Structure 1
Amino acid sequence: MSFCKDCVRGVRWEGTPTGKMEKINGVDCYVATPEGDYPKDKVLLLLTDVFGLPLVNNKLLADDYAANGFKTVVPDFLNGDPVPADGLSPGSNFDLMKWFPGHGADQTRPPIDKVMAALKEQGVTAFGAVGYCFGARYVFDLAFDNAIKAAAVAHPSLLQMPADAEKYAQTSVPLLVESCETDSQLPPEKQVVLDEILGGGKAESAASEGKAESAAGEGKFAAAYKRAYWEGCTHGFAVRGDQSDPKVKAGKEGAFKDMVEWMQKYL
């Protein structure tokens, strides 16, 4: 498995996070809580890209999910060792492939499980999970274990096709995939495999917003499946996209809206 150059490219967004850092079962977490009433027995896990909690974009996304009624927890499953923020900078020589061996499933899955176990002790009975890039791999893994009730991923990294799609088809976890035009991690051929195994058909053109969607809840997958496709966007658009580009801005905002609506329906 490998990453792509766009895994360490992107733009830091502007904004001031409103959530707070908490230690949950020994794991550093960013917690964004809705201002009004919300279901205390549900938590949305946000599993980040390789930049983790230090990247303000990830915290701002968590705040936005909380503003839509979901208590959102962002665990530091990178164990305090994310890719440095200057990895985003032009000319950065950060070597992602040297970083990766110290961040395999053996190191990164246990913190997620510890946080979920502690939240269950606090009365949480249902989890949804949204994952971006690297974090999307773990959303799939949680679904494989039936540890979550609903899943949504944007430009997922490290998926193996068709094996992961076929394994996902054995779960009962509704899946939303936000894909894009230029993505070596989830290129067109992998998008087609997902559709054929989980959706049962090709993506059909939707409205004139640079977006196409595959059919939901059809084909071999008995739960629900949808894949959205954003033209003019590259890997990382939903979490590190350049908001000065109209197509990228539309993709970022559209993907977020899709993911919120998916969780409202299935979590």
Structure 2
Amino acid sequence: MGIHMYLNADRPIQVWLKEHAPGKAFEEAKPVIAALKEQGVSTVGAAGYCWGAKGVAELAKANEIQAAVMSHPSFVTVDDIKEVKCPIAILGAETDKTSPPELVKQFEQVLSSSNSGIAHFVKIFPGVSHGWTVRYKSEDAGAVKSAEEALSDMIDWFNKNLK
């Protein structure tokens, strides 16, 4: 399941974020997940890019999904990660002011703690910056390779955890 939101360049980011709060995405995703389950879907995974990662964190904390992937997350806190209840993969960027590698490593420490018990995969991609999975120049072979690797990691994670 994916919920895609696109930034309208005509409005300041603060206005856009107010209109598209991550909590709103969480609330809007719940009836979609319920409808899927009514149709017989037994496992649901959610992937969140940047802003969408916070919505995925909320879904994972509320036991709404069975697997989660976050790519270059924004607004996700260590406290969020402490409450995650499903397998989670976190794909970070080496150069990211929003979720720097130090924060992503804190996420991994929380998930690796002996009392967590949550299956996890955490990877920091070298040589890329925030947004690398969706905003890259197609003529840049290295950027394409990193984005494709992140997509492959996400698919592998879902295949492993959504059975």
Asked whether the two chains share a fold, i.e. TM above 0.5, the reply is yes
Q: CA RMSD in A?
A: 1.8
Instruction: Give the structure with the higher percent helix.
Output: 2
Residue among 34, 37, 49 paired with 1:132: 49
**Partner SS, residue 91 of structure 2:** strand
- Alpha-carbon separation, structure 1, partners of 2:107 and 2:26: 24
What's the counterpart of residue 245 of structure 1? 140
- Could you tell me whether the CA contact under 8 Å between 2:137 and 2:144 is conserved in 1? yes
SS class of match (2:128): strand
Larger Rg: 1
Aligned residue type for 1:47: I
2:149 and 2:116 mapped to 1: Cα distance? 24
Residue matched to 2:14? 97
Q: CA deviation at 1:221?
A: 2.6
| Other structure's SS at 1:227 match | strand
> Relative to structure 2, which stretch is displaced further, 137-146 or 115-124?
115-124
Identical residues among aligned pairs (%): 31
* Residue 163 of structure 1 pairs with residue 79 of structure 2: yes
Matched, 1:265 2:160: yes
Structure 2: stretches of 5+ with no match in the other structure: none
Partner of 1:47: 3
SS of the aligned residue for 1:164 comes to helix
- Contact map agreement 1:155 1:180 (CA 8 A) in 2: yes
Q: Which runs of 5+ in 1 are unaligned?
A: 1-44, 52-82, 88-92, 201-218
SS at match of 1:119: helix
Deviations 1:167-215 (A, max 9, x none): 22xx2x1111111111111102201211211135xxxxxxxxxxxxxxx
Cα distance between partner residues in 2 of 1:127 and 1:261: 15
1:199 and 1:221 in contact (8 A); partners too = yes
1:187 aligned residue (97, 100, 108): 100
Contact 1:132 1:153 (C-alpha < 8 Å) held by counterparts = yes
Q: How has the CA–CA distance of structure 1 residues 260 and 132 changed in structure 2, closer, same or farther, with 3 Å as cutoff?
A: same
**CA–CA distance in structure 1, aligned partners of residues 89 and 22 of structure 2:** 22
Question: Partner letter of residue 158 of structure 2?
Answer: M
| Cα displacement (A) at 1:106 | 5.1
Q: Cα offset for 1:247? A: 2.5
Name the aligned partner's letter for residue 64 of structure 2. A
1:111 is displaced (CA, Å) by 2.1
The answer for the alignment partner of 1:122 in structure 2 is 39
Q: Distance in 2 between matches of 1:175 and 1:116?
A: 18
Contact map agreement 2:22 2:54 (CA 8 A) in 1: no
